Amino acid sequence: MSGLAASDAAMLAMVAREAADAAYAPYSGFHVGAVLLFADGAMVRAANVENASYGLSLCAEANAVAKAMNEGRRGGLVAVAIAGGKPDAEGQPVPGPEPVMPCGRCRQMLHELAALGGTDPEVIGVAEGGLTRLPLSALLPHAFGPANLA
Ligand code: THU
């Protein structure tokens, strides 16, 4: 992974925090925003959407992948940033000591979109002390994907 410049990673982290404005999280009170960065410079952002049937809640990253794919994107995924926490007065999450990194299901969903374009995107998690930056392949090694079904 070559990785984004530090300033680009910081910008993406800020956009992820802003994306959490749209969170619908009345049950957990935990607002999460995610932003996907594509090779053409486009960004697709989303927030978590919960449900009174708690288990049906959708993560910000899953919503971002679904949104991007509904816009016709198939690959080109360069990076994803995630910010989560209890919201401040503006509805933006206040990051805790540990970064929010994608849950297992979301890692798999990110892998599908990334694999379609043959990229290994950088995953950027936001914590109060800074950013955790890792390639998706480190978070989901030996991933199952489209290639396995070819
Ligand atoms: N959540 C996300 O949106 N992304 C993650 O990576 C972890 C968890 C959401 C799901 C639920 O709405 C809330 O955070 C608490 O788990």
Protein residues with CB under 6 Å of any ligand 1 atom:
25, 28, 30, 32, 48, 50, 57, 59-61, 82, 100, 102-103, 106
Q: What is the pLDDT confidence band of residue 9, given thresholds at 50, 70 and 90? A: very high
Nearest CA to 116 among 72, 55, 67? Answer: 72
Where does the pLDDT of residue 2 fall: very low under 50, low under 70, confident under 90, or very high at 90 and above? Answer: low
Structural domain including 25 reads 6-149
37, 15, 45, 7 alpha-carbon torsion, rounded to 10°: 0
Q: What is the CATH number of the domain that holds 132?
A: 3.40.140.10
Whether 1 is in a domain gets the answer: no
Other C-beta atoms within 10 Å of 141: how many? 7
3 pLDDT higher than 90: no
Alpha-carbon gap, residue 37 to 73, rounded angstroms: 11
- Among 136, 131, 127, 84, CA closest to 109: 136
Q: Is residue 15 part of a domain?
A: yes
Question: How many residues comprise the chain?
Answer: 150
Residue 1: predicted pLDDT: 45
The answer to whether the Cα torsion of 135, 131, 23, 78 is positive or negative is negative
Question: Is 47 in a helix, a strand, or coil?
Answer: strand
What are 31-49's pLDDT values in tens digits? 999 999 999 999 999 999 9
Beta-ladder partners of 94: 86
pLDDT of residue 5: 97
User: Best mutation site among 24, 31, 59, 65 for ligand 1, i.e. most ligand atoms within 8 A of its Cβ?
Assistant: 59
pLDDT at 47: 98
What is the domain count for the chain? 1
Per residue in 58-104, pLDDT tens?
Answer: 999 999 999 999 999 999 999 999 999 999 988 789 999 999 999 99
The best mutation among 17, 30, 82 to test binding of ligand 1, ranked by most ligand atoms within 8 Å of the C-beta, falls on 30
